A and B are shown apart, each in its own frame.
Chain A
Amino acid sequence: MADVTITVDGKKITAPAGSLLIEVCKSAGIEIPAFCYYPGLSLQAACRMCVVRQEKVPKLQTACTTQIAEGQVFFTDTPEVVQARKATLQLLLGNHPLDCPVCDAGGECELQDMTFKYGAADSFYAEPKNHREEQKWSPVVYFDRPRCILCYRCVRVCGEGMDVHALAVENRGSSSIIVPNVPAQLPPDSLPHLDCEQCGMCIDICPVGALTSGTYRYKTRPWEMNHVATICTHCGDGCKTTLGVRSTTDGSQIVRGDNRDKSGINGDFLCNKGRYAFDFANSRERLTQPLVRQPGGELKAVSWEEALTYVGRKFTELLDTHGGRSFGVIGGNRLTNEEAYLLQKFARSVLHTNNIDHHRTADYVAFAQSLAGTTGRAASLRETLTAKAVLLVGGDPTNQNPATAWNLRTNVRHNGAKLYIANTAEIKLRRQTRAFLQVAEHGYGALAAYLAGDDSLAYAAAADNAALAGFRDAVRSEESLLVLIGNELRGVELKRLIDFGLALPGAKFALLADYVNSRGAADMGLLPDLLPGYTPIGPIDTSDPSSRIALEYRSPTTPGLDLLEIFEAAEAGNLSALYVVGADPVARFDVDPASLTGTFVVVQEMFLTETAALADVVLPAANLYEKSGSVTNSYGDLQQVRKAADRAGVRSDFEMIVRIAGKMGADIHKLVPFGVGVRAGGTQADMGQTRGAQSGEADRHAVWLTANNLEPRLNPFDPSAILDEIQRLVPGYDILRLQLLSGIDQHLQPAATPIRNEAGLMQIGNRRDLVLPANDTLFTSGTLGSYSAVLNELQHYQPRQALIHIDEPAASG
Chain B
Amino acid sequence: MPRLVSHPDEVIVLKRRFGQGAAKIDRYIELDGYAAVQKAIAQGAESMPGWIIDTMKASGLRGRGGAGFPTGMKWSFVPKTSAKPKYVLVNGDESEPGTCKDHVLFREDPHAIIEGAMIAGLAIGAKTGFIYLRGEYRYLLNIMERAVADAYAHGFLGRNIFGSGLDFDIITQTGAGAYEVGEESALMESLEGKRGVPRIRPPFPAVVGLYGGPTIINNAETIANVPHILLLGGEAYARLGTERNGGTRLFSISGHVARPGVYELPMGYPLRKAIYEVAGGIKDGKQLKAVVPGGASCPVLRADEIDIGLDFDQLAKAGSMLGSGGIVVLDETVSIVEFALRTIKFYQHESCGWCIPCREGTDWIKKTLTRVYEGGGAKKDIDTVQYIAENMMGRTFCPFGDAAAMPTLGFVKKFRKEFEEYIEGKRAGTPTMKEENALVEIL
Contacts and interface: CB of A to CB of B under 8 A. Distances in A.
A228 B292 CA distance: 63
A149 interface: yes
A91 B355 contact: no
A176 B367 contact: no
Given A65-B200, A125-B384, A173-B363, A87 B353 contact: no
Interface in A167-194: 169, 171-176
A84 B200 contact: no
Contacts of A92: 356, 360
A788 interface: no
Interface in B384-432: 384, 387-388, 391, 394-397
A47 B355 contact: yes
A172 B355 CA distance: 11
Interface in A10-40: none
B354 interface: yes
A716 interface: no
Contacts of A422: none
B356 A150 contact: yes
A174 B384 contact: no
Interface string A122-141: 00111100100000000000
B16 interface: no
Contacts of B349: 173
Interface in B320-374: 348-357, 359-364, 367-368, 371
Contacts of B362: 173-174
B356 A174 contact: no
B348 A174 contact: yes
A150 B359 contact: yes
Contacts of A174: 348, 351, 353, 359-360, 362-363
Interface residues on chain B, size class: 20 to 34
B356 A51 contact: no
A605 B331 CA distance: 87
B355 A48 contact: yes
A601 to B, nearest CB: 63
A59 interface: yes
Interface in A622-646: none
Contacts of A125: 364, 367-368, 384
A719 interface: no
B178 interface: yes
A125 B387 CA distance: 12
B195 interface: yes
Given A91-B361, A94-B360, A173-B349, A46 B395 contact: no
A176 B357 contact: no
A95 interface: yes
Contacts of A59: 394-395
Interface in B169-196: 178, 180, 195
A91 B361 CA distance: 6
A83 interface: yes
A60 interface: yes
A423 B361 CA distance: 53
Contacts of B387: 87
Q: Mostly helix, strand, loop or mixed at chain A's interface?
A: loop
A43 interface: yes
B360 A95 contact: yes
Given A169-B195, A173-B363, A174-B362, A46 B394 contact: no
A88 interface: yes
A45 interface: yes
Contact of A126 (B350, B360, B371, B396): B371
A150 B353 CA distance: 9
Nearest to B180: A172
B359 A48 contact: no
Given A94-B364, A125-B384, A176 B353 contact: yes
B395 A60 contact: yes
Contacts of B353: 150, 169, 171-176
B195 A83 contact: no
Nearest to A174: B363
Given A87-B391, A172-B178, A173-B350, A43 B364 contact: no
Contacts of B200: 43-45, 65
A43 B355 CA distance: 13
A33 to B, nearest CB: 12
Interface in A145-161: 149-150
Nearest to B366: A174
Contact of A48 (B180, B350, B363, B397): B397
Contact of A47 (B348, B356, B381, B388): B356
A37 to B, nearest CB: 12
Nearest to A64: B200
Interface string A52-70: 0000001110000100000
15 contacts: A43-B200, A44-B354, A48-B357, A48-B397, A49-B356, A60-B394, A84-B391, A88-B356, A125-B384, A126-B368, A150-B353, A173-B349, A173-B362, A174-B360, A174-B363
Q: Which 4 A-B pairs have the closest CB atoms?
A: A87-B391, A176-B353, A91-B360, A174-B363
Interface of A: 43-49, 51, 58-60, 65, 83-84, 87-88, 90-92, 94-95, 124-127, 130, 149-150, 169, 171-176
Given A58-B394, A59-B395, A172-B350, 19 more contacts: A44-B200, A46-B355, A47-B356, A48-B357, A48-B395, A48-B396, A88-B395, A91-B361, A91-B388, A95-B363, A150-B353, A172-B178, A172-B353, A173-B350, A173-B351, A173-B359, A173-B363, A174-B348, A174-B363
